[in-house]
Each structure stands twice: as C-alpha cells, then as structure tokens.
Structure 1
C-alpha cells in the first residue's frame, strides 16, 4: 500500500514536471506471437496426418471388400463393369475428400505475419 502511494506520487510529480512537454504515444504491436501458436500448429499437423492415415486405411479396407465382391461374379461382365464403376466413383470421392482436407489444413496453417516495430537508429547502426 505504501509502495503504491509512493509510486502514484512519483508519477504525479513527473507529470507535473513534464506538463509542458508532449511525448508521442508509444506504438503498440497489433499482434504478439503467442507461445501456443507453434503447439497449435503442431497439433493440427498431427491431426492431419492421423486423418490422412485413417483415410488410407479405410480405402484399403473398401478395396478389399470390393475385391472380395468381384470374385463370385468374375464371369458376369455386367456385374464386373458395375463394380469397376463403383470403384472409380469411390476413388474419385476419396481423392476429392483428401484434397479438401489438405486445402482446409493449409488455409488454417497460414499464420499472421508479425512486423516488429522499428529499432532505434543507434541500435541499427551498431553504435
């Protein structure tokens, strides 16, 4: 409490002493990098890898099911053609879903650029 009072008195006296001087406001950094940004990015990357791996495993499983479905009707050309068309449609759907996942991840991974305030001239010139 005593320290706060002393600080307020010191601020008040310095304000009175410098009343004739105008000091420009100190520039404020609009975006300060947060320690958690890197970890959030790493988590998103891991989630993306997990989703891609899960998608690959699901595609393998579906391909195995499709291959097994083709065996009994191997001599039926109409059935084979329908199964091939279904496979192509499934592959296209999976490709589009994966592309969408990657595009969304890339859109989220773009971090805002932080521009630090200019350093004083003396520190830039080396002395």
Structure 2
C-alpha cells in the first residue's frame, strides 16, 4: 500500500507531461464516479486544490475535453491520450488527479475505492453527493 505523502510526482504514459501535485488529503480522498465520462474512463482519482499542480514539462502537450454543462475540464496528453487530471464540476476549486499517473502508485494499491453517484450529480439534484457503492480489489493468492 502506498503512503499518504502530500507531494507526489507524476506523468502521462509517454512522459511528455511531467508534474508535481500536492494532494489535499493524501489518498484519503480517492474515489471513482458513475457519470458517463468517468464510467468509460475508469480512473481512480485523488484531490488537489487549485494551484496544487505544478508542471515540470509538457503543459503545452495537454488538451482538454468538456461535456454536458461544460463546467468540468478534463485534461489529457495530446500525444499518448492519457487522462492526467480534471477540474471538478461540483467544486471548481479542486482538481481530481489520476492516481495511475503518480510515480509508484497504482489504482490496485487500494483495496476499496468509494464510487460516487455522478449520474445524479449534486449540481443537478441540489442534494448532497451520494456514494453509489464501493469498488473492491482482492488480489489472488500466489
């Protein structure tokens, strides 16, 4: 299991984009989401405050995607296509960072990942964000 270190280095798959991120609450904020885009993408994310990502190289290689309301901005490498992070719709002062892009971290390092109900998004319903379930990873014995 990975530690809850606050500052982590990361990159996209091809290495064109390299960054450091200060995670707001270490890995205590990990989650997945059930919205159409997150469901297809399948990433586990952790939170960083606005300004918590510092690009070491390749920021110009990032491209963005917005859908539905256009308020969430999803960033990915224009060369290898890997999603690195996005500006959240429900709290635009936060970025959600793809943990698989962080050095030495795998989404399979987490036995349980909360899955948030993005289909019934809090900005659409006016209700608090609801946890839709929990994703579990149980490694097989060798």
| TM-score bracket, shorter-length normalisation | under 0.3
Which structure has more relative contact order (CA 8 Å, sep 6+)? It is 1
Greater gyration radius: 1
* Higher normalized helix content (fraction of residues): 1
Higher strand share goes to which structure? 2
User: Normalising by structure 1, what TM-score?
Assistant: 0.20
